[in-house]
């Protein structure tokens, strides 16, 4: 496959969760590949930092402060972005509680961002892609939590399993329009979100992940960003409905 298969210089990408972590790393890499990147997040300061980093590297970035759980905000941002060829729906949150301790409000909050936020981006982007005849790529963010269970991550795991089913169904429905839909299920990645979640257990969790990984290291946001770029680009032109697992060889026995 020629390296031009990763050239996105004629495309526009829309990335949610772009203010930090995997979202920021993905926005930076997509811009490096030549895409005009529209960065969405509710963290306005983080968005400004991402835009500055992209501009410093010579790329093009636009920012859209928004809440992905609000469909109207997502729709307005996508309309402002114009023809979009790549969507990376990465925004997400974590919540820790056992099943018996989980309140309806806890589950609703996580689902509103991790599932409905992805759904909103996918639906609104796909509608515009179809209307414009764009053979685009949609990348969703699942998690290693879809493969096994870890106490306390009920809300998070349920939301990510829903993302997987959304991805597979959309891939089947949008394939006839030339639109590919794939998900990424990362292993444990060092980000601000995972750090907050595991603040009291960080050393224990990281030690466990290091033991389980044949590569003997934890994931970094850039590791997942490269998976996003691959699924966004023509290099994966015959790939749809798949769950890519960049996890350092860990089979996710969480």
Would you please indicate which residues are annotated as catalytic (active-site) residues? 156
Contact assessment for residue 81 and residue 142, using Cβ atoms and an 8 Å cutoff:
no
Task: Give the side-chain half-sphere CA count within 13 A for 84.
Answer: 29
Helix pair 104-114, 154-174: axis angle to 10 deg = 40
Task: Report H helices in 115-153.
Answer: 116-132
CB atoms within 10 A of CB 175: 13
Element (H, E) at 176: none
Contact assessment for residue 16 and residue 27, using Cβ atoms and an 8 Å cutoff:
no
Distance CA 18, CA 110 (A): 18
Element (H, E) at 64: strand 60-65
Distance CA 146, CA 164 (A): 8
Please tell me what DSSP assigns to residue 88: E
């Amino acid at each position: 496959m020629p390296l031009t298969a990763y050239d996105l210089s004629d495309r526009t990408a829309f990335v949610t969760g772009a203010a930090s972590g995997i979202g920021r790393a993905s926005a930076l890499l997509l811009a490096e590949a030549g895409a005009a990147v529209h960065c969405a997040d509710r963290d306005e300061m983080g968005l400004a930092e991402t835009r500055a980093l992209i501009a410093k590297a010579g790329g093009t970035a636009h920012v859209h402060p928004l809440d992905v759980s609000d469909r109207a905000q997502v729709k307005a941002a996508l309309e402002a972005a114009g023809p979009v060829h790549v969507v990376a729906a990465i925004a997400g949150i974590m919540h820790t509680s056992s099943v018996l301790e989980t309140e309806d409000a806890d589950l609703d909050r996580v689902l509103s961002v991790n599932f409905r936020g992805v759904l909103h981006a996918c639906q609104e982007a796909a509608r515009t892609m179809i209307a414009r005849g764009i053979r685009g790529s949609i990348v969703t963010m699942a998690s290693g939590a879809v493969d096994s269970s870890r106490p306390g991550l009920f809300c998070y795991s349920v939301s990510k399993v829903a993302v997987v089913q959304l991805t597979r169904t959309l891939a089947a429905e949008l394939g006839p329009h030339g639109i590919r839909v794939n998900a990424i299920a990362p292993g444990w990645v060092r980000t601000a979100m995972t750090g907050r979640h595991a603040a009291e257990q960080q050393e224990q969790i990281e030690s466990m992940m290091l033991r389980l990984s044949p590569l003997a290291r934890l994931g970094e946001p850039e590791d997942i960003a490269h998976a996003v770029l691959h699924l966004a680009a023509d290099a994966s032109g015959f790939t749809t409905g798949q769950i890519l697992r960049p996890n350092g060889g860990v089979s996710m026995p969480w």
